[in-house]
DNA sequence: AAAGGTATGTTATAGTGTATCGTTCGCGTG
DNA sequence: CACGCGAACGATACACTATAACATACCTTT
């Protein structure tokens, strides 16, 4: 299930998040290098802000954080950077939250499936081929040609679930 | 796959849509009767507007249409009616479109899966137990407790697909 | 009739996302 | 180097989506 990197779907509380972020930046650099894209300062800063946690962050929260770094910034600046990052599979948009989250395995043309904790706010990305296959199979029966899929499940992450059982 | 009522997932172009609408209203009436809820004039009018087609409609388009019927109407009026209809499973919200669409099999506590044509705008609702099972199975492996699922797939409906092949 | 809850009206404002235009930057070409 | 071109960015204004807060009307029960 999920990625084949052996990592848990939900990073535990004490994990080395600096490493998460560093790996994400490296991945973005690799993509831009291979596709001849430009990871400008602005885009890199936005990506770093998004990776400041595993919780999806809204465009205007990004804007605020960005303004602290480079002075007054207007919405289009943020949205353009987001468009770039999302269109190249470096960041995902969470439709149910109007928010953005970093991709663990960046690359073109993948939609992922997201588990979003309604308690603590963290989001985890799956990329389960069996789930995707089940969805596509069901859809094809309807004569529908899928292009883009949005799968977002809200609920309780393992930690918050554990906590709720304790009470 | 889908509902067990034998109807096609996508209603064809020449179908009797007045019947779709009438059945939806009847369903809503039945729900309200059984749960002691009030399907007021306002709520019924909003439901009828939503059922004017199989295309998801935005809140402000509903507002405009509603204003034509009962004079100036403010956003909260529409959103409150929508909250009622959505919370009782009579209408679904399409997250990827910020729009609302009528439910074919209204009732509490179901999320459905939606196929949305990016060409003509129609949306069809599935309720495929196999797909849901596959999603839940994959999710449980991550130690996640699902509460609400949002599955929306955009692409081409059978008619638009046929048309695009012809060109 | 009085009371209390539900539904609606009304105004204002919050939150999210784009259109448009002008300027700057990076880079290849003559 | 000067030029030209497209991509990226800055800045202003605006469009679209949704809710807060408070007042009023309605409906049901006592
Ligand atoms: Zn981390
Ligand atoms: Zn949590
Ligand atoms: Zn119909
Ligand atoms: Zn279509």
Query: Cα dihedral angle (A98, B102, A118, B131), rounded to 10 degrees?
Result: -100
Helix axes B75-87, B59-70, angle to 10 degrees: 110
Q: Would you say A100 and A82 are in contact if contact means Cβ atoms under 8 Å apart?
A: yes
Return the H-helix or E-strand segment holding B85.
Answer: helix B75-87
The CATH number of domain A17-164 is 1.10.10.10: yes
User: What is the rounded distance in angstroms from the CA atom of residue B149 to the CA atom of residue B146?
Assistant: 7
> Residue B44: helix, strand or coil by DSSP?
helix
Distance A42 CA to C25 C1' (A): 13
Tell me the pTM.
0.94
- Determine the Cα–Cα distance for residues A24 and A48; give it in Å rounded to an integer: 9
Option in A9, A142, A154 nearest B9 (CB): A142
pLDDT in tens, A103-129: 999 998 889 999 999 999 999 999 999
Give me ligand 2 centre to Cα A50, in Å: 18
pLDDT interval class at B9 (50, 70, 90): confident
Q: What is the pLDDT of residues A19-42, one digit of tens each?
A: 999 999 999 999 999 999 999 999
Distance in Å from the first CA to the final CA of chain A: 30
Our measurement of CA A89 to C1' C1, in angstroms, reads 67
Asked if A148's CB is within 8 angstroms of B150's CB, the reply is: no
Cα separation, B83 vs B88, in Å, equals: 8
User: Which residues in chain A touch residue B161, judged by CB atoms under 8 angstroms apart?
Assistant: 143-145
Residue nearest to nucleotide C7 (CA to C1'): B40
**What pLDDT band is residue B2 in, cutting at 50, 70 and 90?**
very low
Residue of A nearest to B148 (CA): A154
Domain locations in chain B as residue ranges:
17-164
Size of interface A-B (CB pairs under 8 A): 147
Of the CA atoms within 13 Å of residue A72, those in its CB half-sphere come to 0
* Å: A38 CA to C30 C1': 27
The residue whose CA lies nearest the C1' of nucleotide D27 is B38
Which of B99, B126, B151, B163 should one mutate to test binding to chain A, selecting the residue with the greatest count of A CBs within 10 A? B151
Residues A55-99: tens digit of each pLDDT: 999 999 999 999 999 999 999 999 999 999 999 999 999 999 999
Give the DSSP per-residue string, A6-39.
---SSPPTTS-HHHHHHHHHHHHHHHHHHHT---
Cα dihedral sign, A46-A47-A51-A52: negative
Contacting residues 102-161/A vs strand D (CB within 7 A): none
Q: Pick the closest to residue B11 from B98, B101, B96 (CA basis).
A: B101
Ligand nearest to the CA of A157: 2
């Amino acid at each position: 299930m999920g990625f084949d990197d052996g990592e848990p779907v939900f990073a535990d509380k004490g994990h080395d998040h600096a490493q998460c972020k560093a790996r994400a930046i490296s991945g973005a650099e690799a993509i831009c290098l291979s596709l001849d894209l430009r990871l400008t300062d602005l885009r890199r800063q936005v990506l770093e802000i998004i990776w400041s946690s595993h919780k999806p962050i809204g465009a205007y929260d990004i804007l605020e954080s960005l303004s602290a770094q480079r002075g007054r910034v207007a919405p289009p600046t943020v949205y353009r950077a987001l468009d770039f990052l999302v269109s190249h599979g470096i960041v995902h948009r969470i439709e149910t939250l109007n928010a953005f989250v970093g991709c663990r395995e960046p690359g073109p043309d993948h939609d992922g499936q997201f588990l979003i904790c309604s308690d603590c706010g963290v989001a985890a990305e799956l990329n389960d081929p069996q789930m995707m296959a089940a969805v596509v199979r069901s859809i094809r029966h309807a004569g529908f040609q899928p292009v883009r899929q949005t799968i977002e499940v809200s609920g309780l992450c393992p930690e918050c679930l554990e906590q709720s059982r304790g009470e």
